[in-house]
Amino acid sequence: MAVFKAPTRDIKFVINDVLDFPAHYAKLPCGEDATPDMIDAILTECAKFCEEVLSPLNQVGDQQGCQFDNGKVTTPDGFKEAYQQWIDGGWQGLSHPVEYGGQGLPLSLGLLKSELVGTANWAWGMYPGLSLGAMNTLYVHGTDEQKDRYLPKLTTGEWTGTMCLTESHCGSDLGQMRTRAEPNDDGSFAITGTKIFISAGEHDLTDNIVHIVLARTPDAPEGTKGISLFIVPKFHVDENGEMGEFNNVSCGSIEHKMGIHGNATAVINFDGAKGYMLGPKNEGLACMFTFMNTA
């Protein structure tokens, strides 16, 4: 089995001697706590987690893959336990706002974390990685109420998030998408349609998955100018951010792939699931680029 050794010496050389992170952080409002000692401690502990926990699971994930049974997905042996360690260590919210449970450190530290995780075990790293995109999209485009409802448990890692764009009849041509968003009386929308190739779309690592979904309202113009963005949780979330009943979001199957077998690439069905518009109407594709750029 291949052994991963985190290149911490090289990383420290680049951030200290080449880029002078400490001087840069001294100018940032969020950089006060990012002292050289703090950066060193974060790199050391992240490297340890990647070397001792994630790297040994890389081959396990590739050999076992994810298992699909009647709508439920089971991740490879050890993935769930590793993810709990991730939550316990507070890694998910390293560079996200303190007000939502994060540590408020600079985004560049989060980038170093993601680099180490992805190199040690890309398939596992996609589960929290997709969530980072969902968190950023909610933070940039969400209302205060939406942020308060979803961000705390996404920031701790108790929930994960996905990006739902592609449909079976239109690969990269999103202007042809058919997923519908019918308005409800309470201001929400009934989301109906099927999305494919949804990375981390279904799994057993967390109780809830928050899907960020592109869909069309009935009066939307044709093409990409008529696409809106919606928050569609697998389980309803109340005003206090607590999980409720099932929201008619189901997994139809997972793909058989040439690689990243440890990450579930899912077909997700929305059967009148309740969703909430994220960002301005008909500007969903522009808002989704926040997610795509993160990914």
pLDDT digits (tens, 9 = 90+) for 47-73: 999 999 999 999 999 999 999 999 999
| Mean pLDDT of all residues belonging to the chain | 95
Q: Is the pTM of this model over 0.85?
A: yes
Continuous H helices in 103-176: 107-120, 122-141, 144-156
Structure tokens, 223: 């093409």
Pairing status of strand 209-215 against strand 160-164: parallel
Indicate if the pLDDT at residue 86 is higher than 70. yes
User: Which CATH code, of 1.10.540.10, 3.40.50.1820, 1.10.1200.10, 3.40.50.300, is assigned to 8-65+77-142+148-156?
Assistant: 1.10.540.10
* Domain residue limits, the chain: 8-65+77-142+148-156, 159-294
Strands 209-215 and 228-233: antiparallel
Residue matched to tokens 């979001």 = 249
Higher-confidence residue: 88 or 294? Answer: 88
CA–CA gap between residue 220 and residue 205 (Å, rounded): 36
Rounded to the nearest 10°, the torsion over CA 246, 127, 85, 77 is 90
Residue for token digits 């690689």? 259
**What average pLDDT score do residues 119-137 get?**
97
Q: What is the band of 1 on the pLDDT scale with cuts at 50, 70, 90?
A: low
Give the 3-state secondary structure of residue 220.
coil
What pLDDT was estimated at residue 98? 95
159-294 maps to which CATH number? 2.40.110.20
